[in-house]
Structure 1
Amino acid sequence: MKRVFIIFLAVSICFGVASCHSLIEYRNEEEKDPINTDIYSSDEVLDKGVVKGGRLKLFSTVPDTLNPLLTDNFYVQQICRLIFESLIILDKAQQPVPVLCKNWEISSDGLEWTFNLRDDVKWHDDIPFTAEDVVFTLDIILKSDLSPYFKSSLQNIETFALIDKYKFSIFLKKPNSFTVEQMTFPIIPKHYYVGSNILDEAKNMAPVGTGPYRFVQFNEDKIMLSANTDWWNKEGNGAQPFEAPYIEEIEVRVYENVGDIEAAFMSKEVDLIYIEGIEYDRYMGRYDLTLKDFPGRNFEFIAFNTKNPILGDDAVRQAIALSIDRMKIIDEILPGKAVPSDIPVMPDSWIYDNNTASYMTDKDRAKDILSQSGWKEEKGMLYKRIEGRKRPLLLEITVNEENEIRNQIAQILAKQLEETGIKIEIITVKWDEQLKRVQSGDYEIAIMGCRVSPIPDISFLYSEAYLPSSPLPSPEAVYNIAGYDNYNVNTYIEGIFRENDFESRRIMFGNMKNLILDDVPYIGLFFYKNAMAYSKRIKGEINPYIWNLLNDITRWYIIEQ
């Protein structure tokens, strides 16, 4: 049985999500039967190039509001990304790309960030976009509890101020070189709410944005959007004969239940789905759709309790790292569905230096390290005297029983480690018990997972979290469960957050990663891949990545079948 998420997504400009990191469980669900691909015809139509027009069919559950700052509905958040825009978006490498802002300036102490905005943007009601709209949006996010989804990533902002019509500044509590990457929240219009309340239902159900699509109407079973013919970015790079967006209408069909989404996609009522999980291979072999996979945000890792008398020995952790064959684990359990990674940073990230050292499987070296550290074999078991006691090299791996994949990983790890002389006992517990054990330090080795944030911040796992957290942190928020403490790593973390030069940060990050790999407080396993599935009606440059799932949707086009 496998964990699978099937989620509708309709993103054109990808807003950032909260920066907090969360431990993830992955409950098992019923194994679904493979889709019978024989019943589908190819429905292939000759693509003669870009055409203007057509209607894209998307999906949502019943909306609570269409205000992107207020909604708790994931599907509505995605719809709003078609209507509203942010100051920046993240590219595939996690670098910031200006959208509503042109550029930014940073004070010498790193505490003041000034943003210069575009002066050619208009709201859908033809009112100019200005810095007052950004300040108004920040007021809603930071001075109320109405928008916790975005508030959690902006906790390092002390205050902010309007400078002039197209300029504003924010002032930070502590230096943060990733500040601009956190400016991905949607901007809403100040003028639209003059004389009314931000909670005004009538206004919130008829949104006005700056994005490539305008709201047209909402009734019980659909939301209609139309192309914004006055969009500031309609000419793009000028390489095509038509102005963007190419698709003229978007119909968002409203369903009562989330479970209706797969049936809607299968019956061609909607044109695309986002699959967060590992079951996208169920759609492979279908001739009537396009499938694109890419690394997701869910990272799996092995945590060591460094306060444990045996695991407090660097040599033991290094020997374990040298005994593990990650690619064999992936090939046996998740062939083609995961990307190996040493640390919780996306391998595509600009800051991730793939030239830095990584543990390769070497069981002979692992045995030598243990021998040099004083571990001696007696009757098939390795022993060493630690803290006055003769201790066997017998360790427990704790894993939550609901997660079949982690249980399979544990079984393979036990076999791989036994070849080096490290004996393993697998302990399966409920997820709540697993959390309780790692949070209290009552474990030896644990297989865990977390969802990484849009910025390459690893302080949460290898030190104390550098950035201020949300006032109401999740009980499953990730922190340094290994109890790891390295002065030089801590120094590098602070230096990276204070350094605004990209190349200098990348070098420091690589040096820090080498220190971490030497100490081995954790062993990174992999990132799960996610996927997007599309109807063959959709053409154009379809290149999704985790920070912008519908990358460049404004330059997609529809061919009728």
Structure 2
Amino acid sequence: MKYKRILVLFMVFILAVSLIGCGIDKQLDNIKGKQDKNDSSNQKKVYEPAFGGEIVVPISYIKTFNPLLSKDKSLYYFNKLIYESLFDFDEDLNLKKILVEDYKISQDGQTIYIKLKDNVKWHDGHKFTASDVKFTIDVIKYGANDVSYKDMLDTAFKAAKPTDIQHILNVKVVDDLNLQIHFDRSYSNALESLTFPIIPKHQFVEDGAKMSKKTYLKVLSKDIIPIGTGPYKFSKYDKLKKIELVRNDDWHLGKPYISKVIGKILSDNGLAVVSFKTGQLDLTRAEGVDWEKYAHNNKVSIYEYVTQKYEFLGFNFKNKLISGEKGLALRKAIAFGINRDNIINKVYLGHATKVDVPIHPNSWLLSQKNVYDYNVNKAKEILNEAGWKDTDNDGILEDEKGNKLKIRLLTNSYNPLRLKTANMIIEDLKTIGIEVIPQYDTRIDDFNAQTAEKQWNNMIGKIRKGDFDLVLLGWELSLLPDLSFAFHSTQIDDGSNFINYKNENMDQLLVRAFRATTRAEKKNIYGEIQKLIVEDLPYVSLFFRNNAILIDDKIKGEIKPIYSNIYNNIDKWFIPKELQEENKKVD
């Protein structure tokens, strides 16, 4: 009896502790309803796809409905529900046909022959034709050459920029379904440059109207009611509050399951996360790196994806220590001496993907496996073979003349993730005998927008003057692959090759990659580029940052967000009948 009494008291104690722990995230629990996912009785129920229901997603303030001018990422994603492009990116960052039935690239790589799908209609019932494609391209080309609209098009958030489309010489419409797009040179990103949204010519120009530069520019100045060819069509707009889309039952790829998508207008993504917590949204992009706190909530599903945000350590090749006889050995030792897995786990909470090259980890172009895994012994061996020894046993290596192996590290430390990463790199390199001197403010207690801007400008000034040895930074890489901006010697004066890297073989490979006439040739050349990056190490690649979307668990289906489209496969999403909320309100 005594044993049973002790056992009962122990179980009561455990239950009490559990209840206290459950109160930590009380607000979220009350709204979303937390359950123990490890409970064997809480198996995921399998639901049958059903038509109906609505979802509420966040969008920013709408300055224009023109998809060619949208600057905000949330609107870029939202517009993909309304508008479509000739091609778009798949999970491997390769291209998939959207409005295209078939295509062929000429042998010289300068012409693309395109046959359009025959079953595509605009949301107002008009037939989609080749004239719409030519019209859209001409609008972008004329706008990019006009002072008033050039900056607007340049800053719009989209994969293809006006500079990419400027390689198009002309578009010849053969008939309603066939067209030829002629480029000024063989251009390996020709298909990628055709990922912009197509707009309907008939919305702006009457049949038979004479076309002029003024006609095209008027498209960019005119506010419009969105008319696209996508899975959802515009229904109504409540200014500063919401935009409502309804299912396009005549969509050429089949009827989507979800009936309505409501875009709730919010000032930023931080507010969107708060709105998701309070049940006002069904979906949002995660904020920061600690989204695992939602994992224990049974009413929230997390879908992680790799972004284009690439973090790296760049070398200053003006410094003889970096570029001289021993420079390559030093760069390789640094690559082996940094514990990237530790940084990913401790700083980014596991939400980053390690790479050795600035190619997206899921890209069809990636061929290089990671070779610079953390290896202290290997790093020390490389340094010793290059002539650096710890002659005075103080832990820091010296060269033959007794000079200490010291290098400076520059970064923007107002970014707390970069600050923590930089500090860990300093400790890692100290382990292999390199003293790293921080060229940044090691405290972030009193940082605000003003001090952050001041620090950023100071850092840029040092980079331009070459006043650094190592720099920890990141690029948000374009979806159109081209590493010329970072590694081609012609970009040193332009500033994007700020590490002053010069390698004749790299220059030649980058030009060949740009002018490749086939996809297979492009892939092969990118394989050579990756090998050279690993061998010569202009950068020590760290990782690509991951992000995630948080989704109300009532939404089921093939949910596969990717950086280019978080609503990827939305036509295959559904809300089971018993979970549909037909009368959900948005304030």
Relative to the length of structure 1, the TM-score reads: 0.83
Tell whether 2:180 aligns with 1:188.
no
The 5-angstrom pairing of residues 71-470 of structure 1 reads 71-144=70-143, 145=149, 147-148=153-154, 149=156, 150-195=161-206, 204-220=223-239, 221-234=241-254, 244-255=255-266, 260-275=271-286, 277-312=288-323, 313-355=327-369, 358-379=371-392, 380=394, 381-384=396-399, 391-429=403-441, 430-464=455-489
Within 1, Cα distance between the matches of 2:533 and 2:519? Answer: 21
Contact 1:42 1:287 (8 Å CA) reproduced:
yes
Tell whether 2:541 aligns with 1:510.
no
Task: Determine the structure 2 residue equivalent to 1:67.
Answer: 66
Q: What percentage of residue pairs aligned between the two structures are identical?
A: 30
Please report how far the alpha carbon of residue 135 of structure 1 lies from its aligned counterpart in structure 2 after TM superposition.
Answer: 0.9
Q: Which runs of 5+ in 2 are unaligned?
A: 1-23, 36-41, 144-148, 207-214, 442-454, 580-587
Contact 1:54 1:558 (8 Å CA) reproduced:
yes
Per the alignment, in what secondary structure is the counterpart of residue 189 of structure 2?
coil
Whose helix proportion is higher, 1 or 2? 2
Larger displacement relative to structure 2 (110-119 or 276-285): 276-285
Q: Which has the larger radius of gyration?
A: 2
Within 2, Cα distance between the matches of 1:329 and 1:217? Answer: 47
| Structural RMSD (CA) | 2.8
Counterpart residue identity of residue 461, structure 2:
K
Which of 454, 469, 482 is matched with 2:499 structurally? 482
Within 2, Cα distance between the matches of 1:535 and 1:95? Answer: 30
Residues 478 and 546 of structure 1: is their aligned pair in 2 closer, same or farther, counting only changes over 3 Å? farther
The 5-angstrom pairing of residues 20-31 of structure 1 reads none
Residues 442 and 171 of structure 1: is their aligned pair in 2 closer, same or farther, counting only changes over 3 Å? farther
Whose strand proportion is higher, 1 or 2? 1
Per the alignment, in what secondary structure is the counterpart of residue 320 of structure 2?
coil
Per the alignment, in what secondary structure is the counterpart of residue 102 of structure 1?
strand
Q: Residues 406-437 of structure 1: CA distance to partner in whole angstroms, max 9, x if unpaired?
A: 22222222222222221111121522222222
Q: Residues 104-146 of structure 1: CA distance to partner in whole angstroms, max 9, x if unpaired?
A: 2222222222222112211112111111101111111111125
Please report how far the alpha carbon of residue 198 of structure 1 lies from its aligned counterpart in structure 2 after TM superposition.
Answer: 6.7
Contact 2:304 2:549 (8 Å CA) reproduced:
yes
Q: Residues 35-58 of structure 1: CA distance to partner in whole angstroms, max 9, x if unpaired?
A: 755434259995530111111222
Contact 2:489 2:500 (8 Å CA) reproduced:
no
Within 2, Cα distance between the matches of 1:479 and 1:383? Answer: 33
Residues 341 and 36 of structure 1: is their aligned pair in 2 closer, same or farther, counting only changes over 3 Å? farther
Counterpart residue identity of residue 107, structure 2:
S
Residues 52 and 38 of structure 1: is their aligned pair in 2 closer, same or farther, counting only changes over 3 Å? closer
Within 2, Cα distance between the matches of 1:478 and 1:91? Answer: 32
Which of 41, 48, 51 is matched with 2:33 structurally? 41
Counterpart residue identity of residue 153, structure 2:
S
Within 2, Cα distance between the matches of 1:216 and 1:301? Answer: 45
Residues 140 and 534 of structure 1: is their aligned pair in 2 closer, same or farther, counting only changes over 3 Å? same
Per the alignment, in what secondary structure is the counterpart of residue 339 of structure 1?
strand
Counterpart residue identity of residue 374, structure 2:
T
Counterpart residue identity of residue 418, structure 1:
K
Contact 2:111 2:181 (8 Å CA) reproduced:
yes
Within 2, Cα distance between the matches of 1:334 and 1:197? Answer: 46
Please report how far the alpha carbon of residue 263 of structure 1 lies from its aligned counterpart in structure 2 after TM superposition.
Answer: 3.0
Counterpart residue identity of residue 322, structure 2:
L
Contact 2:230 2:248 (8 Å CA) reproduced:
yes
Structure scoring higher RCO (CA < 8 A, sep ≥ 6) equals 1
Residues 127 and 483 of structure 1: is their aligned pair in 2 closer, same or farther, counting only changes over 3 Å? same
Per the alignment, in what secondary structure is the counterpart of residue 291 of structure 2?
helix
Contact 1:63 1:73 (8 Å CA) reproduced:
no
Within 1, Cα distance between the matches of 2:332 and 2:178? Answer: 51
Runs of 4+ in structure 1 off by over 6 angstroms are: 200-203
Contact 2:357 2:368 (8 Å CA) reproduced:
no
Counterpart residue identity of residue 397, structure 2:
L
Q: Residues 237-270 of structure 1: CA distance to partner in whole angstroms, max 9, x if unpaired?
A: xxxxxxx211112222334666542332122222
Relative to the length of structure 2, the TM-score reads: 0.80
Q: Residues 357-412 of structure 1: CA distance to partner in whole angstroms, max 9, x if unpaired?
A: 62233333333332332334332343336xxx864211111121202222222222
Counterpart residue identity of residue 549, structure 1:
I
Larger displacement relative to structure 2 (480-489 or 529-538): 480-489
Q: Residues 487-526 of structure 1: CA distance to partner in whole angstroms, max 9, x if unpaired?
A: 2222222222333444443333223222221211210001
Within 1, Cα distance between the matches of 2:280 and 2:170? Answer: 46
Contact 2:355 2:541 (8 Å CA) reproduced:
yes
Within 1, Cα distance between the matches of 2:434 and 2:115? Answer: 58
Q: Which runs of 5+ in 1 are unaligned?
A: 1-32, 235-243, 467-474
Q: Residues 442-489 of structure 1: CA distance to partner in whole angstroms, max 9, x if unpaired?
A: 2101111110111332222222579xxxxxxxx9x9722221222222
Task: Determine the structure 1 residue equivalent to 2:544.
Answer: 527
Residues 48 and 420 of structure 1: is their aligned pair in 2 closer, same or farther, counting only changes over 3 Å? closer
Q: Residues 271-316 of structure 1: CA distance to partner in whole angstroms, max 9, x if unpaired?
A: 1001264132342322211111111111110001111021112121
Contact 2:107 2:517 (8 Å CA) reproduced:
no
Within 2, Cα distance between the matches of 1:427 and 1:202? Answer: 46
Count of aligned positions? 507
